[in-house]
Structures are given as structure tokens and as C-alpha cells.
Amino acid sequence: MKVLIIEDEPALATNIVEYLSGQNYICELAPTFQRAMDKLSQYNYDCILLDIMLPDGDGIRLLEQIKMAGKEDGVIIISAKDSLDDKIRGLEIGADDYLTKPFHLSELAARMFAVIRRKKFGNTNKLNVGYLEIDIPAKCVSIKGKQILLTKTEFDLLLFFIGNPNKVISKGALAEHLSGDYADMFDNYDFIYAHVKNLKKKLFDAGYEHELKTVYGTGYKWER
Amino acid sequence: MNKLLSRTFISFSIYALFVLAASIPAYHYIVDGIWLAELDEHNQIIASRTEHELNKMHLDEKQLKESIKLWNSIQPGTSLEETNFDVNLKDSLFIEFRQNPYLKRVEIDRFRGLRKFIHINGKPFILTVETNVEETEETVAAIAMVTLIFFVILVLGFLVLNMRLSKKLWKPFRAALKNLKEFNLNHQKPIEFAETKILEFKELNQALEKLIGHTLLVYKGQKEFTENASHELQTPLSIIKGKLNLLLQDEPVTQRQYQLIEEIDFAIGRITRINRNLLILAKIENNQFNNTEKVDLSETVRKIKREVEDYYRLDEASFIEEIDSGIVISGNQTLIEIMTGNLISNAFKYNTESGKITISLTKIGLTVSNSSTNSLPTEKLFKRFSTTRKYGSGLGLAIVKEICIKNAWEVKYTFKEGLHIFNVFFQTD
């Protein structure tokens, strides 16, 4: 899958490229508004990561161009601006998601995974991972036709892991993913442990081999 | 506290009292002096005329004696006596006090007298002329009375002038004062002072305008700095966070290295939240949450409660929820969510083990409480970074306070029966 990273901060762009490598992504970089315009006029992408604050132009205008050209590319805005107006404006113009800096790369990967799948499969978004059959819109997981009952949190976690195959994910990333604005409610992220444990147990009880591994004590990894 | 004008009024009145009191003896001496000089002149004229007329009559010795006798008995206030001193003695002036012989009550009269040596038919005589003069006490009393009347008139005049002056003269001052009282740094609006022709007020207004202009500039600069600094921090934080994620993927990482990465990541999460909250504060202050709408508070509170309670296992009868339905207030949706979110998540966060949490919402206000062992320092509770808790951003309650100020609501903290109670009272109109 092709990804265009429109980001003027090279260190951040290479972070993303490096993290996504080894997964099914081919990344291209566009550090300026002009370069991004050039790329967009020539190619289509599965997903575009768009920093709206570019040195030579407003990223929102790029988004407008993409939408005016009738492109179907999924767009995730990554911005240092945590302003709701920007968020609403971006989503109204047609961005698929909005991520505020700073973010965990695993969070970005999970969001990209979701956006791309939604774009591709829409309402019939069924995902097969090994024996697992995941109906994303219905939030249903089953193995060989047998349904596994997961809580909302466990389902969220499962998708997060699947969006980050073979990556070590810290419990901090999981906690921030789950709690969002309320992450500062916690003195520690130990509550993640119980959720992951339950998820693992449910998958195991349903007869699914352990792909979800605990690493270094408190980190996790979805091995494929 | 005294008003400035009543101060000057009192001083002026006291000064006037002294001056007028001092004028009483002065007037007395002047009036008395004139009085005596005039009487001396009068006595002199009488004496001269007497001498002249008697000489003109060309009386013989016998006739003269009889005439003088008659004179002395019927002419009041004068006496003519023969004398043996045939020297040209000097005239003398004197003052004499005598009881009025025709009154029974005590009535001492003052007399001004002239003793003059005259010659009638070549013989020396002493002629004494006395005229009644007003007594000192009476003069002083009269002058004092008049002075007192003038003093009263003066004071009354001061009072009236004072009232009119304070109304008129101080008008620009009062206007400036009113403006200053209504001035709010947050509104970022400079004060416009009315034109005045009085130099002092003009200078005052100019100085105030300068001061306020400078203050506004500094304040704006400070707020913009906070906002810009917060923005600028996002990107480097993002890079660090990303690099840590990548570091985690390097295999093999030792268990210890993994722990370190986790801890760094946790700290960065905290910086991020402090940064975000600072940004929210700056934005509230910069009026960037201006759009007001009708917000269904009941729904908002329920939603936030659901989101928050997911992370906490609350059991038994430890949670009380009394949320009236259909409470709608006008405000900014985002800010209201932030405010209720902060209050509710705080209650969960700082609740004691198996403590009690209450959320109640009525038309009057929102109340959130949780169990605790000791009271919080009320006066600095809503200040930035005043909490001692290690993991919060230290800004949650400051944001709540700021949102309440923006909406003219009141937020109050009380500690009662082992409960932290936070009340937000809405303006009911």
C-alpha cells in the first residue's frame, strides 16, 4: 500500500517511514506544499498523512485540492494544532481522521490501518487474520463461525494489535489509545494489564493460538 | 475614610475660624481707636468753644463766678474750676469708669475726658470735658457676634461650593475611576478616557492610558507566548515519542532498557498533557472558544461519566448519580465538556479506596464529590500548578475556574464530612 507523508519535519517523517517499513507500506515523502502538489497530481495513494502546517502553504488547502480532484485516498491530518475548529474543518472537508502531535507511532499505524480498510471495504469491512474473522463495523469477532464475546475495550485493543503486527507496543501507547483525553487520570497504566489479559484469555479459550505475546513484562506484540 | 473634598472643607473651615477669631481684637482696637480719637476731637472743640464764648461775654468777676457755678451745675459732663497754677500746663486726656447714678442696677459707664487749662478774663481755669464712650466688652461682643454670623455664612458657602465642585470639578476623575473599575485585562480593550480641560486630570488620564496600553501589550505577549511555546513543543515531543517507539522495536531490548523506555514514555505523556492544558488555558484566555450554543448538560455529564467510569471498577453503593434530565445551558460545547470532564475524572482519580462518588446535576448547578481524608488548600486550589499530586497536569482545576469565569458561573470547593465537594453554580436567568 502506498502512503504519502506530507511533513516538513524530517525527523518526524523518518520516524514514520521507519516504523511503517516491514509492514505492507511503501512510503513517499513530501516536505513542502509544492512537492506534495506535484506528487498528488501524478499518483494515487492508499493513505495520505498530512501535516497542515507546512512552510510554504496551508495543508488544509492541499486537502481541498485532493477532494476537488475527486480522489479517494484516505487522509489523516497530523497536526500540532489541537484546536477543535481545525479538527472539525479538516473532517468536514473530507479528512478521514485527525491526529494531534505528539502521538505514538503505533497509534498512527492503527489509525492508518482503520482508514485504509474503511476506504477499501466500507460497510462490508470483514477482516481475516489467521482463523480470526473480524467484522469491524459490527464489532464482532469469531473463529470458524463461533463468536467470541469481547468488550468494547478488548475489541479496540485487538484492532490496535492487528494494525501493528510484529511491533512491540508499550502499555503507555495502549493506555493513551484507550483513554484519550483522560490519560492523565492515571498514576500508572496498570489497568491495561487486566484488559489485555482478558483478551488473551478469551482468544485462547476460543481455541486461537497465541499470537498476542507479552514481551519484557509489560509490553505486547502481535506476532504473525 | 474621608472624601478628599471634606478634608479640604474641614481645613478651610478651621482656618477661617482662626482668621475670623483673630480679627475680633483687631477690629476692636481699630474701632476703639477711631472712637477715642473722634471723642478727643469733640472734647477739644467743646473746650475751645467754651473758652471762646466765655471770654466773648466780657463778664465781670461776680458775674463770672455765678455763671461758672450755674455752668457747673447744669452742664453735664463738664466742669470749670479756678486754679492757682498760672502756668501754661499741658492738656491731659483720661479715661474714667463710673457707675451710672440714675440706675439702680450695676452699670459702669466709660468716659473719655479732657482736662484743659484755659484763661477766662486772664485768669487760669481748668476745664474738664467728659463724654460717654462705648465700653470695650460691648464693642467686642458686638464684633464677635457679627464675626460669628459671617463665619456661619462662610461655612455654609463652603458646603454648597463643595457639593457643586465635587459634582462638577471631579466629574472627569469619577469617570476615569469608573472606567478603571470596569477594566478587565482579559477583554483586551483599552480604556478611552473622556476629554478634560483640567491639566491634572489630563495628565492622570494620559498616564493611565500609557500604563494600560503597556499592560495590555505585555499581557497579550505573555498569552501569545504560552500559545506559541505550546505549539512549538508539540513537534519535538512528537519526534522523541516516535524515536522511543522505534527504539522499542530494536531487538533485543533488555528488560531494563524496556522499563526505561516505558518510564520516559510515561513522562513524555505527562509533558504532553501539561502542554495541551496550557494551550487550552491560553486559548480560553485568548477567547478562541467563542461560539456559544445550547448544550444539553444532562447528556454531556452522562456521556463523560460513562467514558470515565470505564477505567475504574466502582462497586457496591459507592456511586450516586442524581442527574436531572433536560438541563440545557448556553455555553461552548468543548469548554463544557472539558470542565465536566476535569471535575468528574478528578473525583474518580482522587477518590479513596472504596470511597464514595456523587455526581448531581440540577438547574442550579453541578455538584461532584468524592471521599477523601483531608481538606485541600482552598485558596490556591484553583491556581495553576498548585496541586501536589505527582501525575496530574496541575492545570485541571485552573481550567475549570477559567471556564467558569468566562461563563460567569461560580465554582466552589468545600470539604465536608470526609468529602471533597465541587460545586458549579450556573447563572440562572
Query: Taking a C-beta distance cutoff of 8 angstroms, is the pair B324, B308 a contact?
Result: no
Of B318 and A212, more confident:
A212
Cβ within 8 Å of B, A 73-132: 80-85, 100-106
| Segment A116-174, tens digit of pLDDT | 988 888 777 788 888 888 988 888 899 888 889 998 889 999 999 999 998 999 888 99
What per-residue confidence (pLDDT) applies to B389? 62
C-alpha cell at B226: 504560552
Strands A74-79 and A47-51: parallel
Confidence label for B4 from pLDDT (cuts 50, 70 and 90): confident
Which of A53, A84, A168, A184 should one mutate to test binding to chain B, selecting the residue with the greatest count of B CBs within 10 A? A184
Task: Compute the Cα dihedral for B395, B400, B401, B402 and give only its sign.
Answer: positive
C-alpha cell at B95: 479715661
- Cβ-Cβ contacts under 8 Å between A and B: the total is 123
A189 reaches B (C-beta below 8 A): yes
* Facing B253 at nearest CB: one of A187, A216, A218: A216
- The residue in chain A having the minimum alpha-carbon distance to the alpha carbon of residue B250 is A168
**What is each CA distance from B261 to B52, B256, B265, B274, in whole angstroms?**
138, 9, 6, 20
Q: At which residue does the C-alpha cell 513543543 appear?
A: B233
- The residue in chain A having the minimum alpha-carbon distance to the alpha carbon of residue B263 is A172
| Segment B310-369, tens digit of pLDDT | 777 666 557 888 889 888 998 888 899 999 999 998 888 888 888 889 999 998 899 999
Give the phi and the psi of residue A19 in degrees, each rounded to 5: -65, -40
What per-residue confidence (pLDDT) applies to A83? 66
Contacts of B177 (CB under 8 A, 6+ apart): none
Helix (H) / strand (E) element for A100: namely: strand A97-100
In angstroms, the first-to-last Cα distance of chain B is 37
Q: What percent of chain A has pLDDT over 90?
A: 42
Q: For residues B194, B195, B199 and B205, what is the CA-based torsion angle, rounded to 10 degrees?
A: 40
Q: What is the ipTM of this complex?
A: 0.88
What per-residue confidence (pLDDT) applies to B317? 55
- Sequence-ordered alpha helix ranges (H) in A57-187: 59-68, 84-93, 105-121, 152-162, 171-179
C-alpha cell at B385: 500548578
C-alpha cell at A56: 510554504
Rama region for B410: left / alpha / beta (φ>0; ψ in -120 to 50; rest): beta
Helix (H) / strand (E) element for B211: namely: helix B199-249
* Facing B269 at nearest CB: one of A176, A182, A217: A176
CB contact under 8 A, A216 and B258: yes
Cis check: omega of the bond before A102, within 30 degrees of 0: yes
Q: How far is B234 from chain A (nearest CA, A)?
A: 6
- Asked if pLDDT for residue B143 goes beyond 80, the answer is yes
Looking at A24-85, which runs of residues are DSSP E strands? Answer: 26-30, 47-51, 53-54, 57-58, 74-79
Query: Taking a C-beta distance cutoff of 8 angstroms, is the pair A216, B255 a contact?
Result: yes
Cβ within 8 Å of A, B 289-348: 307-308, 310-311, 334, 341, 345, 348
